[in-house]
Amino acid sequence: MNIIETEFPGLLIIEPKIFADQRGYFYETYNEKIFEGHNIHNKFVQDNISKSAKNILRGLHFQKPPYAQGKLVKVIQGSVLDVSVDLRVESPTYGKHIKVLLSESNNKMLWIPEGFAHGFLTLEDETIFYYKCTNFYNAPSDSSILWNDPELNIDWGIADPIISEKDRNAKKLSDFKGLF
């Protein structure tokens, strides 16, 4: 695996080594020894999968402490524009975001540590997105930041995505300062 550090402390892009031949391909999505060497939380307790049509925007979601989650994410089918926003007040990248293209063809994964809001825009129909989480879902601590918050200035590449009522009514980043 190739682990790529980003400007966001702790947020990593993971490129698996793919073994391909005429039969298809094989690659590891998790290796405890490699992940431990990069401080990737290795106690995963919940896996989630979502399937979405094209132009669905999910996010920007996170859970408040003490139920915050680290997430290892990847696309199984289709592609997404994946966005993570740093909510850690002491971080040099607080309030900034990173965008990564995740797809079934590039097989990239993203490690998103606790303290980030996360969302994605599906770029194809029938997109299947996979999350491996370090904490269980806790409804009372579930939160979201408005996907088009002017303070974040995220260019999603679409003016009118399909979003849930929850995401349409999300709060701005300024409403959450000091959580992490």
Tell me the domain boundaries of the chain: 2-176
CATH of 2-176, one of 2.60.120.10, 3.40.50.11540, 3.40.50.300, 3.40.190.10: 2.60.120.10
Distance CA 7, CA 154 (A): 17
pLDDT tens digit string along 147-165? 999 999 999 999 999 999 9
Question: Would you state the pLDDT for residue 40?
Answer: 84
Phi, psi angle pair for 169, to nearest 5°: -100, 15
pLDDT, the chain, mean: 95
Question: Would you state the pLDDT for residue 104?
Answer: 96
The average pLDDT across 57-80 equals 97
* Positive/negative CA dihedral, 161, 167, 169, 173: negative
Instruction: Band the pLDDT of 36: cuts 50, 70, 90.
Output: confident
The average pLDDT across 165-174 equals 96
pLDDT tens digit string along 101-137? 999 999 999 999 999 999 999 999 999 999 999 999 9
The average pLDDT across 20-29 equals 93
Instruction: Band the pLDDT of 84: cuts 50, 70, 90.
Output: very high
Q: Supply the residues annotated as catalytic.
A: 61, 131
Question: Cβ distance 11 to 41 under 8 Å?
Answer: no
23-61 per-residue burial string, b: 16 or more CB within 10 A, e: under 16: eeeeeeeeeeeebeeeebbeebeeeeeeebebbbbbbbb
Residue among 76, 55, 68, 54 nearest 130 (CA): 76
Residue 41 predicted with pLDDT over 80: no
Residue 7 DSSP class: S
With a pLDDT cut of 70, the percent of the chain lying above it is 99
Instruction: Return the number of other C-beta atoms located less than 10 Å from residue 164's C-beta.
Output: 13
